[in-house]
Amino acid sequence: MTRNDILREMGLGPVWRLRTATPATPVAEVAAASTAAAEHLPQNVPAGEPVAPAIAPAAMDWDELAAAVAACRQCRLGETRKQAVLGVGDRHADWLFVGEGPGAEEDERGEPFVGQAGKLLDSMLAAIGLKRGNDVYIANAVKCRPPGNRTPEPEEAAACWPYLERQIELIRPKLIVALGRPAAQTLLQTEVKIAAARGRLHDYRGIPLIVTYHPAYLLRTLPDKALAWEDLCFMKRTMQASRAG
- Rounded Cα distance between 142 and 197, Å, is 21
Partner from ligand URA, ligand SF4, none contacting 143, C-beta within 5 to 8 A by type: ligand SF4
Question: Considering beta carbons, is residue 140 or 238 the nearer one to ligand URA?
Answer: 140
Q: Is 210 in the site for ligand SF4 (CB under 6 A)?
A: no
Residues near ligand URA (CB under 6 A): 99-103, 106, 112-113, 115, 117-118, 140, 216
Query: Other C-beta atoms within 10 Å of 225: how many?
Result: 18
Task: Sketch the per residue contact string, 140 through 169, with ligand SF4: x for CB under 6 A, - otherwise.
Answer: --xxx-----------x--xx---------
CA distance between the termini of the chain: 43
Output 32 or 58, the one with its CB closest to ligand SF4: 58
Q: Which does 106 bind (CB under 5 to 8 A by kind): ligand SF4, ligand URA, none?
A: ligand URA
**What phi-psi label fits residue 38: left (phi over 0), alpha (psi between -120 and 50 degrees) or beta?**
alpha
Shortest CB 161 distance to ligand SF4, Å: 8
Q: Which is nearer to ligand SF4, 69 or 175 (CB)?
A: 69
Residue of 7, 60, 75, 228 that binds ligand SF4 (CB under 6 A): 75
Report strand pairing: 207-212 vs 202-204.
antiparallel
Cα dihedral sign for 60, 101, 29, 125? positive
144 to each of 40, 77, 169, 215, 227, how far by Cα in Å? 19, 6, 21, 19, 29
Find the shortest distance in angstroms from Cβ 89 to ligand URA. 12
Cα separation, 122 vs 82, in Å, equals: 24
Taking CA atoms, 213 is separated from 126, 204, 231, in Å, by 17, 18, 9
Binding partner of residue 216 among ligand SF4, ligand URA, none, CB cut-off 5 to 8 Å per kind: ligand URA
What residues line the site for ligand SF4 (CB under 6 A)? 69, 72-75, 77-78, 84, 142-144, 156, 159-160
